[in-house]
Amino acid sequence: AIQMTQSPTSLSASVGDRVTITCRASQGITNDLHWFQQKPGKAPKLLIFTASRLQSGVPSRFSGSGSGTDFTLTISSLQPEDFATYYCLQDYNYPLTFGGGTKVEIK
Amino acid sequence: QLQLQESGPGLVKPSETLSLTCTVSDDSIGSRNYYWAWIRQPPGKGLEWIGNIYYSGSRYSDPSLESRVTISVDTSKNQLSLRLTSVTAADTAVYYCARGWGDSSVGVFDIWGQGTTVTVSS
């Protein structure tokens, strides 16, 4: 199975900060990588699909980039509602595998 | 907007079978435009993919669960089902159903149920 490694596992940031989260695949996955946001007690929400495409209704401060093995989720200006845990997911092949998550906390 | 609602027993005894249903609020479960999935999250841990089912009837599941899991669709009831046999405490989790879309992707899960908590305990 393809291993997805997210870093950092957690970070503290302030409102207005630029935040970058990285996801690394154990082998090349082209651009078959999606990003989800999860708030406590809630279901995950799709943010970015196929590495860089913004899901409908998601604010433009979220962006994704990368291809192959290294991917990045960037929040250009962190807002109070963005404090959450973020997960990447590869669907290059089965089994689908999630990264371990990155918790974004308030500094 | 489409809604997914999981239902099933919140408590299952070890070695027994976990059965969950996900009711879809419209008839899109029979559409070739979508696929359907079960995903779980153990307490305090990350997301784990359980399996997908497609319009064609094809199914794929995580190899670690494959021998115990059955995913099915009942289009007459607009329902997705999960059956997991021989459960242990390690199967304690919040279980989510989700809808996916896209011709060339199998993990673009754009709509999720709210999740249902299942505890395995005697």
Q: pLDDT tens digit string along A41-89?
A: 999 999 999 999 999 999 999 999 999 999 999 999 999 999 999 999 9
Q: State residue B103's pLDDT score.
A: 81
Comparing CB atoms, the residue among A46, A95, A99 nearest residue B108 is: A46
Of B26 and A104, more confident: A104
Across B61-76, average pLDDT:
96
Comparing CB atoms, the residue among A32, A46, A96 nearest residue B49 is: A96
Residues facing residue B60 across a β-bridge = B52
The average confidence (pLDDT) of chain A is: 97
Whether chain A has a CB inside 8 Å of the CB on B105: the answer is yes
Pick among A3, A91, A93, A103 to test the B interface (most B CBs inside 10 A): A91
Q: What residues in A contact B48, CB-CB < 8 Å?
A: 98
Across B55-74, average pLDDT:
96
The HSE-up count of residue B85 (CA atoms within 13 Å, CB side) is 6
User: Would you say residue B27 has pLDDT above 90?
Assistant: no
Interface contact flag, B110 A44, Cβ < 8 Å: no
Shortest distance between the Cα of A102 and any Cα of chain B, in A, equals 10
User: Would you say residue A7 has pLDDT above 90?
Assistant: yes
CA-closest candidate to residue B94, choices B50, B59, B61, B35 = B50
Residue B113 pLDDT class (50, 70, 90 cuts): very high
Q: State residue B34's pLDDT score.
A: 95
Residue B99 pLDDT class (50, 70, 90 cuts): very high
Shortest distance between the Cα of B77 and any Cα of chain A, in A, equals 23
Whether chain A has a CB inside 8 Å of the CB on B107: the answer is yes
Q: State residue A64's pLDDT score.
A: 98
A88, A33 contact by CB (below 8 A):
yes
Q: What residues in B contact A49, CB-CB < 8 Å?
A: 102, 105, 108
Residues of A at the B interface, defined by Cβ within 8 angstroms: 1, 32, 34, 36, 38, 42-46, 49-50, 55, 87, 89-91, 94-101
Across B75-84, average pLDDT:
96
Across B68-93, average pLDDT:
97
Positive or negative torsion for Cα B102, A102, A96, B56: negative
Q: State residue B11's pLDDT score.
A: 98
Residue A6 pLDDT class (50, 70, 90 cuts): very high
A99, A23 contact by CB (below 8 A):
yes
Q: For chain B, give the percent of residues with pLDDT over 90.
A: 90
3-state class (DSSP) for residue B90: helix
Shortest distance between the Cα of A31 and any Cα of chain B, in A, equals 10
Comparing CB atoms, the residue among B49, B52, B112 nearest residue A98 is: B49
Q: State residue A27's pLDDT score.
A: 98
User: Would you say residue B102 has pLDDT above 90?
Assistant: no
Comparing CB atoms, the residue among A34, A99, A101 nearest residue B107 is: A34
The average confidence (pLDDT) of chain B is: 96
